[in-house]
Chains A and B, each alone.
Chain A
Amino acid sequence: DAKTTQPNSMESNEEEPVHLPCNHSTISGTDYIHWYRQLPSQGPEYVIHGLTSNVNNRMASLAIAEDRKSSTLILHRATLRDAAVYYCILGTNAGGTSYGKLTFGQGTILTVHP
């Protein structure tokens, strides 16, 4: 499976934008880029995903580099509730032996200061 690299931790102030980077230099052409987050004592929850183009939803934006070797999750106005571990994951397609499993790294711990 292609691997991702994220900073161990980042800090932000409330109501400021946050840019969480992810490197995935060995990404294959069919890998989707997924972002999940895990709030304390909860299961992971989906944030956003994309393939080639930048994506926006109500939670965040995903900026994907033109060569797809890196991406950035953007939280436009961080709140205290956004404090969580953020995982950047490459989603494998069906077929072969992967069956769509998500391979979690250690993620980025985001701390939001009031």
Chain B
Amino acid sequence: NAGVTQTPKFRILKIGQSMTLQCTQDMNHNYMYWYRQDPGMGLKLIYYSVGAGITDKGEVPNGYNVSRSTTEDFPLRLELAAPSQTSVYFCASRLRVGADTQYFGPGTRLTVL
């Protein structure tokens, strides 16, 4: 299994541009999450999904959108990029909540200039 994969690894955007961060997992996990991590800080939850077709906001959803059309894919869309969105973005998945492990992707480092 590849686990959780994310593309791209790095990206530089200009203010006002849009982009989609891709996330795919091959473990047939129901739950998927998008986090962002600012320098020297812990991770903050942007959006999550409990299954295909079901998504909901986390702590910091403003400026982002998600969709979950399949179990495997959970893309994160940035509309009208702003410098405050400069961060490292991590996608994660887990089979079930409570005891189970959450698996993280390698991250996408995004800079908005």
Who on chain A is nearest to B98 by CB?
Answer: A93
Are B42 and A45 within 8 A (Cβ)? no
Q: Which of B68-76, B78-86, B89-97 contacts A (4 or more CB under 8 A)?
A: B89-97
Residue interface bits A41-62, CB-to-B below 8 A is 1, else 0: 1111110010100000000000
Who on chain A is nearest to B105 by CB?
Answer: A43
Min Cβ gap B104→A in Å is 3
User: With A and B bound together, what is the CA distance between A90 and B103 in angstroms?
Assistant: 16
B2 at the binding interface (Cβ < 8 Å): no
Query: Assuming the A-B contacts A43-B104, A101-B48, are A94 and B98 also in contact, with contact meaning beta carbons closer than 8 angstroms in the complex?
Result: yes
On chain A, the residues within 8 Å of B96 by CB distance are 94, 100
Are A91 and B90 within 8 A (Cβ)? no
User: With A and B bound together, what is the CA distance between A52 and B73 in angstroms?
Assistant: 35
Who on chain A is nearest to B40 by CB?
Answer: A106
Query: Assuming the A-B contacts A42-B107, A106-B41, are A101 and B99 also in contact, with contact meaning beta carbons closer than 8 angstroms in the complex?
Result: no
B61 at the binding interface (Cβ < 8 Å): no
User: With A and B bound together, what is the CA distance between A91 and B94 in angstroms?
Assistant: 12
Residue interface bits A25-52, CB-to-B below 8 A is 1, else 0: 0000010100010000111111001010
Are A99 and B107 within 8 A (Cβ)? no
User: With A and B bound together, what is the CA distance between A42 and B92 in angstroms?
Assistant: 13
Q: Identify which of B42, B44, B56 contacts A99 (C-beta below 8 A).
A: B56
User: With A and B bound together, what is the CA distance between A17 and B64 in angstroms?
Assistant: 43
A92 at the binding interface (Cβ < 8 Å): yes
Are B42 and A87 within 8 A (Cβ)? yes
7 A-B pairs with C-beta separation under 8 A: A30-B98, A36-B102, A91-B99, A98-B97, A99-B48, A101-B33, A104-B44
Q: A93-B98, A98-B97, A100-B96 are known contacts; what are 16 more A-B pairs with Cβ within 8 Å?
A: A41-B107, A43-B4, A43-B92, A43-B106, A44-B102, A46-B103, A49-B101, A87-B42, A91-B97, A91-B98, A94-B98, A99-B31, A99-B56, A101-B33, A102-B45, A102-B92
A residues near B (Cβ < 8 Å) are: 30, 32, 36, 41-46, 49, 51, 87, 91-94, 98-107
